[in-house]
Amino acid sequence: MVAATIISVSLVAFTLLGLSYWRATISGIAANAISDRIRVASGIGQKGVGPRDFRNIIILKDLSPDLCGQAKCFKAICAYYCAVNTLSKIIPVMRGWADAEMATCARYAAVRMEQRLERNMVYAAQVRGL
């Protein structure tokens, strides 16, 4: 009984640590600059990326190919965005926190799109060089 309790508490603590690490990684990537070509293509204004810009960035992702084959990098952030959005609708008091988290998700997706376009350009140049 004691062993089961220790294992349960350890699993919960490990899960919370993993989630905190993942969120810190997302925040670190989201802190990078977003280029003007991503802003223009996804319709983001100069005032910054907002929580509602995530949908436009995902539409842009769906319209652009990934020549390097990493198509699954947006699934986790989409799931997190949907979970936070749902939570903000269920608990209106958390709206401020949820908007900040959704804006971070949108910034992360925009930075990842920028990286994807850069990889595509490098890959296309390599193919043309052959």
Give the domain range for residue 118. 2-129
Q: What is the pLDDT of residue 51?
A: 85
Q: Calculate the average pLDDT of the chain.
A: 87
Check whether 100 has a pLDDT greater than 80: yes
In whole angstroms, give the CA distance from residue 80 to residue 85: 8
Q: What is the pLDDT of residue 103?
A: 92
The number of domains in the chain is 1
pLDDT, tens only, 44-78: 877 778 888 899 888 888 887 776 666 567 888 99
- DSSP H helical segments within the chain, as ranges? 2-30, 36-42, 54-63, 75-90, 95-129
Residue range 31-41: mean pLDDT, rounded: 86
Structure tokens at 33: 């600059």
Number of other residues whose CB lies within 10 A of the CB of residue 51? 21
Q: 98 falls in which pLDDT band (50, 70, 90)?
A: very high
Can you list the pairs that 66-72 forms with residues at least 24 positions away whose Cβ atoms lie under 8 Å? 66/116, 66/119, 66/120, 67/119, 67/120, 67/123, 67/124, 68/119, 68/120, 68/123, 70/116
Which of 113, 119, 89, 85 is CA-nearest to residue 100?
85
